[in-house]
Chains A and B, each alone.
Chain A
Amino acid sequence: MTFMGWLTIILFAVILTALALPLGSYMAKVYTGRRVFLSPIFAGPERFLYRILRVDPEREQDWKSYAKSLLIFSLAGWLLLYVILRTQNAFFVPHALNPLGYHSAPWNVTFNTTSSFLTNTNWQYYGGETTMSYLSQMLGLTVQNWLSGGVGIVVAVALIRGIIGRSGKSLGNFWQDLVRTVLYVLTPISVIGALLLVSQGVIQNFSTYLTAHTVTGLSQSIAMGPVASQEVIKMLNTNGGGFFNVNSAHPFENPTGFTNLVEMLLVLIIPAALVFTYGRMTGNRRQGYAIYTAMMVMFLGAAAVAYIAEAHGSPAQHLAGLHTHVISGSGGGNMEGKEQRFGIAGSALFDVVTTVTSCGAVNSAIESFTGIGGAVPMANLSASETIFGGVGTGLYSMLLYVLLAVFIGGLMVGRTPEWLGKKLEAREIKLAGLGILITPLAALFCTAMATASHGGRASISELGKGPQGFSETFYAYLSQANNNGSAFAGYTGFVQPNAGSVGSHGVTFADLLGGFDMLFARYAPILFALAVAGALAGKRVTPGGLGTMRTDNPTFVVLLIGVVILVGALTFFPALLLGPIVQGLSGHLY
């Protein structure tokens, strides 16, 4: 470990908070319909979009109507994406947008990929530069990078409206929220972010792959493409599906230590800002600060454990005779699967940033992390996106836990639980409980199915022996259930073709199980969150009394952290013990 490593983690948290505060209040203005400094630019396009979409933005929707619009829009997006991916080399696709003439992946891989991008998971059973045309990357994947994140954000906004709503059942208007998210939040950050990334070396072109002739007489083929425009939104909307197979480890996606910092900030900026938006919209900013503190404490804890574990090095390294301590000119540590320019701290922090959220981008190979280092992303996933979480999904997941914490706190002091002046009753608690349990349930059920069947074992890599094979499997379904998309990349649902050959070949079992895992664990919690919003929306607000448990003080922060960790640990500890912890506690090789 180095001083610079720790400094990176601390400064990252400081910069993030400094940026998220103003963005949070900006977003609160956007979603309450107030004028913002970008209104002169976007008010016109906003009205234009309502007109061609035939939307009346004033039409108020209750939770069922809101959910219906959301589901139908998602279905339309699913179908279009599936068609785009399956017609990759059809006659109407211009050669310039599929310069290598890639064929489409088969139906099972495409089912998985389509579900993956719709659900903001971006699990990838394909290698970008060896299977995807430029057109598929842009018209298919980039579009859902924007929209799946947008859908997550509007659900969080709707839930906030339900929590604060004093009369009626309205949660706002789905189309209005979506259009505003795309225009006022995603467009400015994406355009500026993409250009910033290009200025640092991320590529953006439609050239065919290069062939270089090296000074030692070898030839090297180099993949190209419109990367920056996809890279920025992949991070910003916590999607995480890389343009290239190795995602943000690729120098064309993430060329320097500086871009690494920018990309990490892009991932957390909206999830962090939304917490402050919540505080603003409830009229008590301390509510936001309390949740933010709980998230930040867990985040920094995870980052510290990952950094210490990776800096220590792996049993394989030590038994081979490598010394992994810091020496002059080298940071040491477990550099297997890590890039020199990011080093140990930049890789460990990136890993934590992308697994507490639903991003799942990687700048290093998680499969090669040490046992404890690899247990950190799994523990992050076990927290079900409550530590910042995905855009929107993080806030609404955490608010369900807040509800649970208030309920448990109420039981402890023996009073009817109240939250922001509203009495919590059986219906809300049941819905929140289901919303919380559905993701772990999907993850564990699918892991059990995959480890207990021949179909599942086919996906474990050759190297994945012993606990590593279990870790691969568990991680795969945990990651897909949490709509994360990062992977122990040895686990596979496809067979990578040689560059230039016809499509990949799917492992149907893994493709389908993973696809359903993602769809179920995405849309069921959305419905429960919206139902909770609906249940809370009409409730009368009574002023808090002396006995009311406050949700904006340190006691509550501790209680909330306790609830998150307790639920995660009770659900996942047995599975974590079987895989990464066994490896982390023993120096044994398999």
Chain B
Amino acid sequence: MRRDIVTSVIGILVLTVLIGLVYPLVITGISQVAFPGNANGQKVYVGGKLVGSKIIGQSFASPVIGKNGKPEEKEEELVTEPDPRYFQSRPSATEGGAYNAAASTFSNRGPNDKATEEADAENIKAYLELEKPYDPGLTAAQVPVDAVNTSGSNLDPEISQANAWIQAHRVAAKRHLSLGVVDGLISKYTDSRGLGFSGEPGVNVLELNLALDRLAGGTH
């Protein structure tokens, strides 16, 4: 009994130092040398300013400016509206505004909840309002699921290709580009399946939008 206690106490302390300090520090050291970009979150800079992480989704909505010239707030969250020049990410329900990457959360919308149905219906309506003027044939039945359903993390960096192809009509019109150019960029920023079979292809929204900006700025 006594021997077990002594060994247990020494054991847990020694192993805590080895596993809890040495191991993560060694992994951090190697990672920072071998894969510094990945280890630090694939930061994306524009003109020296941090605009986000390549693999963390973000909102492409702009703050609504109120009558007093200041951004409007409602229940301590900024009121925003989608910026039509940009591809829009999936709906996000994080607290403190969409795509709060300091507090990831599941939406926990049940399959048989009225609230889920209402949220879906509302998102379909908003999607059609935004896209239909530029894609007149669009109906609710054609809206891709990922454009309406919130993701697991609520930080999904990607949208489906179907979703991007619909939005391309609006973005092309707003930016005075041909649909072919925009669709070309969509293909360029579509991540393929892992090893050719694992997962689904997805379009990285931040990369795609930044590429559009570069096109406009003539620095492409």
List chain A positions with a Cβ less than 8 A from chain B.
4, 7-8, 11, 49, 52-55, 68-69, 72-73, 75-77, 80, 127, 129-130, 138-140, 142-143, 146-147, 175, 182, 190-191, 194-195, 198-207, 209-218, 220-224, 226, 228-230, 244-246, 249-252, 255-261, 313-317, 319-324, 327-344, 346-347, 362-365, 367-371, 373-374, 461, 463-468, 488-490, 496, 498-499, 583, 586-590
Contacts and interface: CB of A to CB of B under 8 A. Distances in A.
A260 B195 CA distance: 11
Given A214-B52, A336-B149, A54 B7 contact: yes
Contacts of A364: 152
Nearest to B148: A322
B121 to A, nearest CB: 4
B153 A251 contact: yes
Contact of B109 (A346, A463, A499): A463
A205 B32 contact: yes
11 contacts: A52-B14, A72-B1, A203-B40, A204-B39, A216-B61, A252-B56, A321-B120, A323-B143, A332-B145, A490-B108, A589-B113
Contacts of B148: 317, 320, 322
A108 to B, nearest CB: 22
Given A76-B9, A321-B140, A463 B115 contact: yes
Interface string B1-38: 10111111111111110011101101110111011001
Contacts of A198: 27, 31, 34-35, 38-39
Contacts of B1: 68, 72
Contact of B103 (A245, A339, A365, A490): A245
Nearest 5 CB-CB pairs, A to B?
A: A257-B199, A258-B194, A343-B200, A249-B152, A257-B194
A329 B165 contact: yes
B7 A53 contact: yes
B135 to A, nearest CB: 14
Contact of B24 (A229, A363, A489): A229
Nearest to B157: A251
Given A198-B31, A218-B59, A463-B109, A245 B104 contact: yes
B60 A335 contact: no
Contact of B50 (A212, A224, A315): A212
A246 B101 CA distance: 11
Given A246-B106, A251-B157, A368-B106, 10 more contacts: A73-B11, A204-B32, A205-B32, A212-B50, A220-B101, A222-B41, A245-B105, A256-B194, A261-B194, A320-B121
B55 A252 contact: yes
A69 B19 contact: no
A243 to B, nearest CB: 10
Contacts of B202: 340-341
A478 B193 CA distance: 34
* Count class of interface residues, chain B: 35 or more
Contacts of A140: 20
Contacts of A143: 15-16, 19-20
Contacts of A498: 95-96
Given A246-B154, A319-B117, A202 B27 contact: no
B152 A362 contact: yes
Contacts of A75: 8
Contact of A218 (B11, B61, B146): B61
Given A72-B8, A130-B103, A337 B55 contact: no
Contacts of B162: 327-330
B52 A339 contact: no
B124 interface: yes
B55 A367 contact: no
Contact of B117 (A80, A250, A316): A316
A250 B108 contact: no
A217 B191 contact: no
Contacts, number: 439
B39 A205 contact: yes
A213, A316, A317 — which one has the most chain B CB atoms within 10 A of its CB? Answer: A316
B146 A201 contact: no
B147 to A, nearest CB: 9
Nearest to B166: A329
Contacts of B10: 52-54
B51 A212 contact: yes
A343 B184 CA distance: 23
A245 B27 CA distance: 22
Contacts of B30: 195
A7 B106 contact: no
B193 A257 contact: yes
Contacts of A252: 41, 55-56
Given A4-B193, A257-B193, A249 B153 contact: yes
A213 B49 contact: yes
Contact of B53 (A76, A212, A226): A212
A215 B108 CA distance: 30
B103 A210 contact: no
A336 B27 CA distance: 35
A333 B117 CA distance: 15
Contacts of B21: 138-139
B40 to A, nearest CB: 5
B142 interface: yes
A367 B106 contact: yes
Interface string B41-74: 1110010011111011111111100000000000
Contact of A583 (B55, B111, B191, B199): B111
Contacts of A191: 23, 26-27
Contact of A215 (B42, B107, B209): B209
Given A249-B151, A322-B124, A461 B195 contact: no
A212 B58 CA distance: 10
A322 B143 CA distance: 7
A222 B53 CA distance: 8
A182 B80 CA distance: 51
Contacts of B159: 340
A368 B142 CA distance: 22
B215 to A, nearest CB: 13
Contact of A210 (B19, B43, B209): B43
Interface string B117-147: 1101100100000000000000011111110
Given A191-B27, A363-B152, A590-B114, A256 B40 contact: no
A119 B201 CA distance: 38
Contacts of B55: 201, 251-252, 255
A210 B129 CA distance: 34
Contacts of B152: 246, 249, 337-339, 347, 362-365
B149 A129 contact: no
A52 B58 CA distance: 51
B155 interface: yes
B27 A204 contact: yes
B24 A142 contact: yes
Contacts of B15: 143, 146-147, 182
Contact of B28 (A80, A146, A204, A363): A204
B173 interface: no
